[in-house]
Amino acid sequence: MIKPTYTIGVTGLNAIDSPGPGIAVIRGLREAASFDVRIIGLAYETLEPGIYMHNLIDKTYLIPYPSTGTDALLDRLIYIQKQEKLDIIIPNFDAELYSFMKLESRLKDIGIHMFLPTFDQFEERHKVNLSKFGKKYGINVPEGIAINDPSEIYKHIDDLEFPMMIKGKWYDAYIAYNQDQARTYFNKIVAKWGLPVVLQKFVHGTEYNVTGLGDGEGNLIAAVPMRKQYITDKGKAWAGISIDDEELLELTRKFVRSTGWRGGFELELMKSGDGKYFLMEINPRIPAWVYLAVGVGQNIPEALSLLALGQKPTSFGSYDVGKLFIRYSWDMIVDRSEFQNFSLKGEV
């Protein structure tokens, strides 16, 4: 049987200390059982390591930052489509999803398919709305409040107490142990991600994550939970182990069933000392550690691609428990001319 070959564009190629999901997604696509792939990288900066990983990526194009607006992004994607005939794009950053969701129907008109959350789903699970989300769906969520001025921190000390979490609307989270630290982290986050900043009650416990895939009709196609084994100073998992926890899986099924979630996702949870799970964040895309899911038998990037093309992949029934992912770094040697060529032409 001859497998079809799809050309798939992937963002998130910044495989740094706080890595984007792109390289892990591409590795999953390369191992797809139902199709072969040609991978087109979509990069925002000239030093994203994935650009130069030619064993994984066939060609890479520079695309404009989300802040430049959807018109600039659409123009660039139309150009890329004329050159490459993309079948699918898989965006992998929270901050770019809004632009891609807005362009989903227009990109489909030129032959590019995606499988993304709806606008309502994207907004409802946002950090600034997470407390309301928890109450609506009966999921334990720590008390949180969005603020726009550091003077507001003082108002919420009695309710949230120290230590408390200080979070950016897109990325970054810090534990503040006093008001001075909270103000420092507030200013740091605003300088990078803008307003609002989210204050969240700190939960003492063990960190868990679940990566999964919903079909948009309330059905869970994939779900793999893991416990973080090693965490960087930025709070990123550098090692983790797949676990068997029916309560965690049922919480994930409830999330997908209740919201009708469409696309990939990551649930970040904390298990308190009394054994209760608290939902800390919902990331509306595939996480950087998704290759663990591929390695234990659930190829989420492959299933997501099939959904984007209108197919109905079978739900994964099981996965291997007790498998570790351990992230590592290595140095690539790249000729300066290649870097200069990409910087000047925006493609390589």
| Per-residue pLDDT reduced to its tens digit, 177-233 | 999 999 999 999 999 888 889 898 888 999 999 999 999 999 999 999 999 999 887
* Residue 204, H or E segment: none
Calculate what percentage of the chain has a pLDDT beyond 70.
100
Q: How far apart are CA 141 and CA 11, in angstroms?
A: 30
| 314 has pLDDT over 90 | yes
Q: What would the two tokens of residue 319 be?
A: 């996965």
CATH class (in words) of the domain with range 5-115+331-345? alpha beta
| 15 has pLDDT over 80 | no
| 284 has pLDDT over 80 | yes
CATH, range 143-201: 3.30.1490.20
Q: How far apart are CA 175 and CA 190, in angstroms?
A: 16
Q: Tokens 């204050």 label which residue?
A: 199
pLDDT of residue 21: 96
Domain with CATH 3.40.50.20 in the chain: 5-115+331-345
CATH topology of domain 204-326: D-amino Acid Aminotransferase; Chain A, domain 1 (3.30.470)
Contact 216, 262 (CB under 8 A): yes
Please, which pLDDT band fits residue 159 given cuts at 50, 70 and 90?
A: confident
Domain with CATH 3.30.470.20 in the chain: 204-326
pLDDT of residue 241: 97
Mean pLDDT lowest for which of 123-137, 228-242, 248-262, 331-345?
Answer: 228-242
Mean pLDDT taken over the chain: 94
As beta bridge partners, residue 279 has 269
Domain with CATH 3.30.1490.20 in the chain: 143-201
Q: Which of 342, 135, 141, 348 is nearest to 258 (CA)?
A: 135
Residue 278 dihedral angles phi and psi, to the nearest 5°: -120, 130
Give me the mean pLDDT over the 18-40 stretch: 96
Would residue 257 be called left, alpha or beta, if left means φ above 0 and alpha means ψ between -120 and 50 degrees?
alpha
Give residue-wise pLDDT tens across range 254-276: 999 999 999 999 999 999 989 99
Q: What value, to the nearest 5°, has the Cα angle with vertex 257 and ends 251 and 261?
A: 100
* Residue 80, H or E segment: helix 70-84
Mean pLDDT lowest for which of 140-144, 233-237, 289-293?
Answer: 233-237
The whole model's pTM is what? 0.92
Q: Please report, as a single letter, which amino acid is at residue 18.
A: S
196: preceding bond cis by omega (within 30 degrees): yes
| 17 has pLDDT over 80 | no
Q: How far apart are CA 129 and CA 219, in angstroms?
A: 24
Contact 153, 182 (CB under 8 A): yes
Contact 39, 10 (CB under 8 A): yes
pLDDT of residue 122: 95
